[in-house]
Amino acid sequence: MVVMKKVLWKHKLLLLLITGIILIVDQISKFLSSKLGASIPIIKDVFHITFVENLGAGFGTLQGQWWLLVIISLAAFGIAFYYFLKTKKYFLELVLAILMGGILGNLIDRIVFGFVRDFIDFRIWPVFNIADIVITISIVLLIYYFWKEK
């Protein structure tokens, strides 16, 4: 029984490495993009790297609601972490590890800078970042997971 618990913790720690990798990639990409002086076209009029300070949430909602966004992020991370520790289903563990990386990436921005650093600009969509991408993907995967479970 003790060996099994040790194996489960090693498994969980390996999955938390995914959380850490996502967080590191997100923070490095935000740092690098923040050093740009201007928008850089990768594909002119289609895809640019444009640094933006986002004071709100997705699509510019909840502008200036810093405390509310921090509380929501902390609650979301706490819930994800609780279920990450509780579940023994690999797919759900993986998706929650990915989700936690994205939540932490934007939460750190909100706490340290007072805004989220966005930089991926497709010109027809609000500017976003790596954390936003992994949060969106993980939410889609969670919807899929719970839909298949029922």
Range of 31's domain?
Answer: 2-149
70-129 pLDDT, tens digit per residue, is 999 999 999 999 999 999 999 999 999 999 999 999 999 999 999 999 999 999 999 999
**What is the structure's pLDDT at 7?**
56
Comparing 102 with 9, the larger pLDDT belongs to: 102
Rounded to two decimals, the pTM is 0.91
Question: Residue 64 pLDDT more than 90?
Answer: no
Mean residue pLDDT of the chain comes to 93
Per cent of the chain over pLDDT 90 is 83
Per cent of the chain over pLDDT 70 is 95
SS (H, E, C) 97-128: HHHHHHHHHHHHHHHHHCCEEEEEECCCCCCE
**Residues annotated catalytic, as ranges:** 118, 132
Which of 129, 140, 83, 141 has its CA nearest to residue 104?
A: 129
If one counts the domains in the chain, the total is: 1
